[in-house]
Amino acid sequence: MKFALGIEYDGSKFAGWQMQKHGTRTVQECVEIALSSVANQPVQVVCAGRTDTGVHAVGQVVHFECDSPRQEKAWVMGVNTQLPDDVSSIWAQPVAEDFSARFSATARQYRYIILNRQARPAVLNKKVTWKHGGFNVEAMHQAAQALLGEQDFTSFRSSACQAEHAMRNVHWVNVSREGDYIYIDIKANAFLHHMVRNIVGSLIMVGQEVKAVSWMADLMRCKDRNQAGPTAPADGLYLVNVSYPQESGIISTINLPRYA
Protein backbone atom coordinates (compact mmCIF):
# COMPACT_ATOMS: atom_id res chain seq x y z
CA MET A 1 0.00 0.00 0.00
CA LYS A 2 0.97 3.62 -0.41
CA PHE A 3 0.62 6.05 2.49
CA ALA A 4 1.00 9.80 2.93
CA LEU A 5 2.29 11.28 6.18
CA GLY A 6 2.21 14.80 7.57
CA ILE A 7 5.54 15.63 9.19
CA GLU A 8 6.69 18.53 11.32
CA TYR A 9 10.22 19.25 12.50
CA ASP A 10 12.53 21.75 14.10
CA GLY A 11 15.24 22.17 11.48
CA SER A 12 17.77 23.79 13.83
CA LYS A 13 19.94 20.71 14.23
CA PHE A 14 19.46 19.20 10.78
CA ALA A 15 21.48 19.59 7.58
CA GLY A 16 18.18 19.96 5.73
CA TRP A 17 15.64 17.37 4.61
CA GLN A 18 17.54 15.36 2.00
CA MET A 19 19.78 12.43 2.84
CA GLN A 20 23.47 13.30 2.60
CA LYS A 21 26.29 11.04 1.42
CA HIS A 22 28.72 12.36 4.01
CA GLY A 23 26.61 11.26 6.98
CA THR A 24 25.30 14.56 8.36
CA ARG A 25 22.02 14.47 10.26
CA THR A 26 18.97 14.90 8.00
CA VAL A 27 15.21 14.76 8.52
CA GLN A 28 14.76 12.20 5.73
CA GLU A 29 17.15 9.79 7.39
CA CYS A 30 15.35 10.05 10.75
CA VAL A 31 11.93 9.51 9.15
CA GLU A 32 13.06 6.53 7.07
CA ILE A 33 14.72 4.84 10.05
CA ALA A 34 11.55 5.27 12.13
CA LEU A 35 9.24 4.02 9.39
CA SER A 36 11.49 1.06 8.64
CA SER A 37 11.46 0.09 12.30
CA VAL A 38 7.65 0.12 12.50
CA ALA A 39 7.25 -1.62 9.13
CA ASN A 40 9.98 -4.16 9.88
CA GLN A 41 11.29 -3.63 6.35
CA PRO A 42 13.27 -0.91 4.53
CA VAL A 43 11.12 2.13 3.75
CA GLN A 44 12.02 5.11 1.58
CA VAL A 45 10.07 8.35 1.44
CA VAL A 46 9.47 11.11 -1.10
CA CYS A 47 8.75 14.58 0.26
CA ALA A 48 6.72 17.49 -1.10
CA GLY A 49 9.53 20.01 -0.69
CA ARG A 50 13.19 19.58 0.26
CA THR A 51 13.93 22.13 2.97
CA ASP A 52 17.43 23.47 3.53
CA THR A 53 19.70 23.37 6.58
CA GLY A 54 18.03 25.07 9.53
CA VAL A 55 14.58 25.42 7.89
CA HIS A 56 11.56 24.22 9.88
CA ALA A 57 8.29 22.59 8.83
CA VAL A 58 4.84 22.21 10.34
CA GLY A 59 3.22 20.99 7.12
CA GLN A 60 5.67 18.76 5.28
CA VAL A 61 4.07 15.85 3.38
CA VAL A 62 5.76 12.59 2.37
CA HIS A 63 4.65 9.36 0.76
CA PHE A 64 5.99 5.83 1.01
CA GLU A 65 5.09 2.30 -0.06
CA CYS A 66 5.02 -0.66 2.28
CA ASP A 67 3.84 -4.29 2.26
CA SER A 68 3.48 -4.54 6.05
CA PRO A 69 -0.13 -4.44 7.27
CA ARG A 70 -0.32 -1.60 9.78
CA GLN A 71 -3.15 0.60 11.00
CA GLU A 72 -2.91 4.30 10.30
CA LYS A 73 -2.25 5.10 13.96
CA ALA A 74 0.90 2.96 13.79
CA TRP A 75 2.32 5.38 11.23
CA VAL A 76 1.72 8.20 13.71
CA MET A 77 1.97 6.94 17.29
CA GLY A 78 4.27 4.02 16.56
CA VAL A 79 6.56 6.04 14.31
CA ASN A 80 6.77 8.84 16.88
CA THR A 81 8.20 6.42 19.44
CA GLN A 82 11.10 5.91 17.01
CA LEU A 83 11.63 9.55 16.04
CA PRO A 84 13.84 12.07 17.87
CA ASP A 85 12.15 14.87 19.81
CA ASP A 86 12.62 17.40 17.00
CA VAL A 87 10.61 15.40 14.41
CA SER A 88 7.00 14.24 14.63
CA SER A 89 4.53 12.35 12.44
CA ILE A 90 1.24 14.24 12.82
CA TRP A 91 -1.17 12.40 10.50
CA ALA A 92 -1.26 9.41 8.14
CA GLN A 93 -3.62 8.14 5.48
CA PRO A 94 -3.63 5.70 2.56
CA VAL A 95 -3.42 7.26 -0.90
CA ALA A 96 -3.91 6.11 -4.48
CA GLU A 97 -1.15 4.30 -6.31
CA ASP A 98 -0.53 7.27 -8.59
CA PHE A 99 -0.23 9.79 -5.73
CA SER A 100 3.09 11.59 -5.31
CA ALA A 101 3.83 13.89 -2.39
CA ARG A 102 5.99 15.94 -4.75
CA PHE A 103 4.42 15.77 -8.19
CA SER A 104 0.75 15.70 -7.11
CA ALA A 105 1.18 18.90 -5.09
CA THR A 106 -0.45 21.99 -6.59
CA ALA A 107 1.05 24.59 -4.23
CA ARG A 108 3.35 25.12 -1.25
CA GLN A 109 3.02 27.75 1.43
CA TYR A 110 5.81 29.20 3.58
CA ARG A 111 5.94 31.60 6.50
CA TYR A 112 8.99 33.66 7.44
CA ILE A 113 9.16 35.18 10.93
CA ILE A 114 11.23 38.20 11.89
CA LEU A 115 11.57 39.26 15.52
CA ASN A 116 11.94 43.04 15.34
CA ARG A 117 13.06 44.43 18.68
CA GLN A 118 16.20 45.73 20.35
CA ALA A 119 17.00 42.58 22.36
CA ARG A 120 17.98 39.29 20.73
CA PRO A 121 15.78 36.20 21.31
CA ALA A 122 16.57 33.54 23.86
CA VAL A 123 13.64 31.08 23.95
CA LEU A 124 13.06 31.52 20.22
CA ASN A 125 16.72 31.41 19.24
CA LYS A 126 16.99 29.55 15.91
CA LYS A 127 13.17 29.75 15.55
CA VAL A 128 12.99 33.34 14.27
CA THR A 129 15.30 35.80 12.54
CA TRP A 130 16.20 38.77 14.72
CA LYS A 131 16.39 42.29 13.29
CA HIS A 132 16.48 45.50 15.33
CA GLY A 133 15.74 49.01 14.15
CA GLY A 134 12.74 50.45 12.34
CA PHE A 135 10.76 48.50 9.73
CA ASN A 136 8.19 49.83 7.26
CA VAL A 137 5.97 46.76 7.01
CA GLU A 138 3.44 48.43 4.72
CA ALA A 139 6.21 49.18 2.23
CA MET A 140 7.33 45.55 2.39
CA HIS A 141 3.79 44.36 1.66
CA GLN A 142 3.39 46.74 -1.27
CA ALA A 143 6.77 45.77 -2.73
CA ALA A 144 5.94 42.06 -2.44
CA GLN A 145 2.93 42.43 -4.75
CA ALA A 146 5.36 42.72 -7.68
CA LEU A 147 6.00 38.99 -7.22
CA LEU A 148 2.45 37.87 -8.03
CA GLY A 149 1.61 35.68 -10.99
CA GLU A 150 3.68 33.45 -13.24
CA GLN A 151 7.05 35.10 -13.73
CA ASP A 152 10.77 34.48 -14.11
CA PHE A 153 12.35 34.49 -10.62
CA THR A 154 15.99 34.40 -11.72
CA SER A 155 16.77 37.35 -9.43
CA PHE A 156 15.79 35.21 -6.43
CA ARG A 157 17.34 31.92 -7.54
CA SER A 158 20.48 30.56 -5.89
CA SER A 159 23.51 29.65 -7.97
CA ALA A 160 23.15 26.04 -6.76
CA CYS A 161 19.56 25.73 -8.03
CA GLN A 162 19.09 22.68 -10.27
CA ALA A 163 15.62 23.54 -11.61
CA GLU A 164 15.26 23.46 -15.38
CA HIS A 165 13.88 27.02 -15.47
CA ALA A 166 13.08 29.91 -13.14
CA MET A 167 9.39 30.31 -14.01
CA ARG A 168 7.17 30.05 -10.93
CA ASN A 169 3.61 31.13 -10.16
CA VAL A 170 3.21 33.05 -6.90
CA HIS A 171 -0.44 32.96 -5.81
CA TRP A 172 -0.19 35.57 -3.08
CA VAL A 173 2.22 37.28 -0.67
CA ASN A 174 1.29 38.98 2.58
CA VAL A 175 3.51 40.93 4.98
CA SER A 176 2.01 41.77 8.37
CA ARG A 177 3.03 42.73 11.87
CA GLU A 178 1.81 41.58 15.29
CA GLY A 179 3.64 43.18 18.18
CA ASP A 180 7.37 42.58 17.77
CA TYR A 181 6.87 39.95 15.05
CA ILE A 182 6.81 40.49 11.29
CA TYR A 183 5.25 37.67 9.27
CA ILE A 184 5.96 37.16 5.58
CA ASP A 185 3.54 34.60 4.08
CA ILE A 186 3.90 33.37 0.52
CA LYS A 187 2.14 30.70 -1.53
CA ALA A 188 3.23 29.47 -4.96
CA ASN A 189 2.94 26.43 -7.18
CA ALA A 190 6.60 25.65 -6.40
CA PHE A 191 9.78 27.38 -5.25
CA LEU A 192 13.35 27.60 -6.49
CA HIS A 193 16.35 26.86 -4.28
CA HIS A 194 16.61 29.65 -1.65
CA MET A 195 13.81 31.55 -3.42
CA VAL A 196 11.86 32.48 -0.28
CA ARG A 197 14.96 33.45 1.68
CA ASN A 198 16.26 35.54 -1.21
CA ILE A 199 12.91 37.31 -1.52
CA VAL A 200 12.89 37.98 2.23
CA GLY A 201 16.44 39.34 2.10
CA SER A 202 15.31 41.92 -0.46
CA LEU A 203 12.08 42.73 1.38
CA ILE A 204 14.10 43.42 4.53
CA MET A 205 16.02 46.09 2.61
CA VAL A 206 12.71 47.66 1.58
CA GLY A 207 11.44 47.47 5.15
CA GLN A 208 14.57 49.19 6.42
CA GLU A 209 14.01 51.82 3.71
CA VAL A 210 17.37 51.11 2.13
CA LYS A 211 15.48 50.43 -1.11
CA ALA A 212 12.25 51.84 -2.55
CA VAL A 213 9.00 49.91 -2.93
CA SER A 214 9.50 49.87 -6.71
CA TRP A 215 12.82 48.04 -6.34
CA MET A 216 11.20 44.58 -6.15
CA ALA A 217 9.57 45.13 -9.55
CA ASP A 218 12.92 46.28 -10.91
CA LEU A 219 14.53 43.06 -9.66
CA MET A 220 11.89 40.94 -11.38
CA ARG A 221 12.60 42.74 -14.66
CA CYS A 222 16.40 42.61 -14.52
CA LYS A 223 16.60 38.83 -13.85
CA ASP A 224 19.96 39.17 -12.10
CA ARG A 225 20.59 37.54 -8.71
CA ASN A 226 23.55 39.85 -8.12
CA GLN A 227 21.26 42.88 -8.05
CA ALA A 228 18.98 41.51 -5.30
CA GLY A 229 19.44 41.52 -1.54
CA PRO A 230 21.33 38.92 0.54
CA THR A 231 19.90 35.52 1.39
CA ALA A 232 17.97 35.79 4.66
CA PRO A 233 18.91 33.32 7.46
CA ALA A 234 17.18 29.94 7.54
CA ASP A 235 16.12 30.34 11.18
CA GLY A 236 12.85 32.15 10.48
CA LEU A 237 11.57 29.98 7.62
CA TYR A 238 8.76 27.42 7.96
CA LEU A 239 7.08 25.18 5.39
CA VAL A 240 3.51 25.45 6.63
CA ASN A 241 1.30 23.72 4.06
CA VAL A 242 1.23 21.69 0.85
CA SER A 243 -1.93 21.70 -1.29
CA TYR A 244 -3.26 18.75 -3.31
CA PRO A 245 -6.22 18.17 -5.67
CA GLN A 246 -9.47 17.33 -3.89
CA GLU A 247 -9.52 13.82 -5.37
CA SER A 248 -6.30 12.96 -3.50
CA GLY A 249 -8.28 12.95 -0.26
CA ILE A 250 -5.59 14.97 1.53
CA ILE A 251 -6.88 18.02 3.36
CA SER A 252 -3.96 19.18 5.48
CA THR A 253 -4.85 21.99 7.84
CA ILE A 254 -2.65 25.09 7.84
CA ASN A 255 -0.87 25.35 11.17
CA LEU A 256 0.91 28.68 11.06
CA PRO A 257 3.70 29.20 13.61
CA ARG A 258 2.86 32.37 15.53
CA TYR A 259 4.67 33.99 18.40
CA ALA A 260 2.87 37.31 18.87
d(CA 151, CA 64) in angstroms, rounded, equals: 33
* 107-239 fold: Alpha-Beta Plaits (3.30.70)
pLDDT score, position 148:
98
DSSP code of 31? H
Q: What residue spans define the domains of the chain?
A: 2-104, 107-239
Give the residue from 215, 198, 231, 203 showing the smallest Cα distance to 137: 203
Same fold, 2-104 and 107-239: yes
Judge whether 59 and 49 are in contact, CB under 8 Å. no
- Structurally, at CATH architecture level, domain 2-104 sits in 2-Layer Sandwich (3.30)
pLDDT score, position 75:
95
**Contact residues for 21 (Cβ-Cβ < 8 A; gap 6+):** none
Question: Which regions in the chain score pLDDT beneath 70?
Answer: none
Give the residue from 243, 151, 161, 150 showing the smallest Cα distance to 198: 161
pLDDT score, position 22:
77
Give the residue from 113, 100, 118, 98 showing the smallest Cα distance to 58: 113
Catalytically annotated residue among 52, 152, 218, 224:
52
pLDDT score, position 13:
95
pLDDT score, position 165:
94
DSSP code of 11? G
pLDDT score, position 93:
94
Side chain identity, residue 168: R
Is 110 labelled a binding residue? yes
pLDDT score, position 260:
75
Give 55-108 pLDDT, tens digit per residue: 999 999 999 999 988 888 999 999 999 999 999 999 999 999 999 999 999 999
Active site residue 67: no
pLDDT score, position 68:
87
* 23 three-class SS: coil
* 68 three-class SS: coil
pLDDT score, position 9:
97
